[in-house]
Chain A
Amino acid sequence: MKYALFLGCTIPVRSQNYEISARNVAKKLGMDLVDLEEFSCCGFPVKSTSTEAALAIAARNLAIASEKKLEICTLCNACTGVLTEANKHLTDNKELREKVNQDLKKIDKEFKPGVKIRHFDRVLYEDIGLEKINNEVSKNLKDLRVSVHYGCHYLRPKDIYDGFDDPENPKTLDKLIKATGANLIDYKDKLDCCGGAILAVQEQTALKMAKIKLDNVTANNVDALITQCPFCSIMYEDNRNKIETAFNVNFGGLPVLYYTQLLGLGLGLDKNELGFRLNKIKPTNLLEKLGVE
């Protein structure tokens, strides 16, 4: 099982704990992740200002994977969304494909249909499978209570994702969490957006969106919030102080873990192999509860 690992912009600079844990989990489960140095930004940051430029940047990355005959495995939801969407539109719409390929000609690249893109957690679900994951879990996490935030672009828009999960009632990440033995705690408005995309546009509104989510998650006395996208984690973890100050609230140091970090704990990986020292909110109590030194 070989995949081209697509890191995007944020993960290699701001979320190395995600990258470290994903690489080590992949190794443990027999996923071969290949680094392609030429992978750039996915195109998402300029989609609002020039859809054509965003499509060209996405198509350039797709062309690179296609030249190497590799499928793309992403870690960030925004990268997943933009690459999947570009792939679908450029495959289905010949006129658009010709237009974008004109742009790509200037850099000696050409988009050809046939590339596959999936989020790391979707690959875990579909290629590794719940049974194998459950069998590989050596440390039962049954003492943990966690809640999950999927992040919008893992699920939506549904017309680009071949119905692999239901955006109104998603189950894939729920099942992946349960496969580690951890208790999954449901909460109000689980599908609400983190607000990350408007943080730089209208900060107070974005922070309020994240605050409401944290209110709903912490109402149930959980040990951690599980995410799978660096933007969502930035909202719930990096912006925690700002949110607590702005709204005069206290979320009691609720840790935010990437799913790969939670799974890694279940697989018995060392805490250094899961990048925990890079978590901005230290999951000290959670690790103690599990007896992880």
Chain B
Amino acid sequence: MIDSKKLDPNFKYEVAKEIGGENIKHCFSCGTCTVGCPVRVLDEKYNPRKIIRMVLLGMRERVLKSDFIWLCSQCYTCYDRCPQGVKLTDIMTALKNIAVREGYIHPAFKEQARLLGEHGRLYEIEDFDNKKRNKFGLPPVKKDFEDVKKIIGSSSLKKVIK
């Protein structure tokens, strides 16, 4: 049962203000997204049409606190096939962005943000890695990127990685 008193009618406008969230209100619930989704076929918990509907209804807290918004495999199949140009993959990204600012982040993504904040790359490079590269005749790679650390450190991810 949906409790109408708990709905936030402004949620869709909030999503529409995010980068990539602009077309949320174009959805007419045809379900093309859900039919072609490679995750949905294996796990019913992830249902893109339902998620969009929940946003449009204003189920803000349930969506942002959910684990299902983190299940999009970012294959862009629904994005390309959507007859209304809703750009679903970008909507899921927008929802995750808002969730992070509200304090909900999946641990896997927290770790990736931390690595980028500390090294500017996804893997910490040790001397060993460059020695190995040298052995294969490959040029060394840079270990740390101050610029990237600065970008992460001054973004909304700052409080996440602390």
The chain A residues found within 8 Å of chain B, CB to CB, are: 7, 9-10, 12-14, 16, 19-20, 23, 35, 37-38, 40-41, 45-53, 55-57, 60, 89, 96, 103, 106-107, 109, 152-153, 156-158, 167-168, 191-193, 195-198, 200-202, 205-206, 208-209, 275
Contacts and interface: CB of A to CB of B under 8 A. Distances in A.
Interface in B128-162: 129, 132-133, 136-139, 141-142, 145, 147-148, 150-152, 154-157, 160
Contacts, number: 167
Contact of A53 (B42, B121, B152): B152
Contacts of A196: 73
Contacts of B87: 157
B93 interface: yes
B29 to A, nearest CB: 21
A10 B122 contact: yes
B116 A46 contact: yes
A288 B33 CA distance: 45
A253 to B, nearest CB: 24
Interface stretch (B4-12, B52-60, B105-113): B105-113
Q: How large is the interface on B (under 10, 10 to 19, 20 to 34, 35 or more residues)?
A: 35 or more
B3 to A, nearest CB: 29
B157 A55 contact: no
Given A12-B141, A37-B142, A55-B19, A197 B121 contact: no
B122 A60 contact: no
Given A41-B148, A48-B93, A51-B93, 15 more contacts: A10-B122, A12-B133, A16-B136, A16-B138, A41-B116, A48-B109, A50-B100, A106-B151, A156-B79, A167-B80, A191-B77, A193-B75, A196-B73, A201-B71, A201-B106
Interface string B63-82: 00000001111111101100
B75 A208 contact: no
Contact of A7 (B80, B141, B155, B157): B141
A191 to B, nearest CB: 8
B138 A193 contact: no
Nearest to A35: B139
Contacts of A156: 75-77, 79-80
A49 B151 contact: no
A167 B79 CA distance: 12
B129 A13 contact: yes
Given A53-B156, A55-B19, A193-B75, A13 B97 contact: no
B122 A209 contact: no
B138 A52 contact: no
A117 B90 CA distance: 21
18 contacts: A13-B141, A16-B133, A37-B142, A38-B142, A41-B148, A46-B112, A46-B113, A49-B110, A49-B157, A52-B19, A52-B156, A53-B155, A56-B151, A60-B148, A156-B79, A167-B80, A193-B75, A205-B43
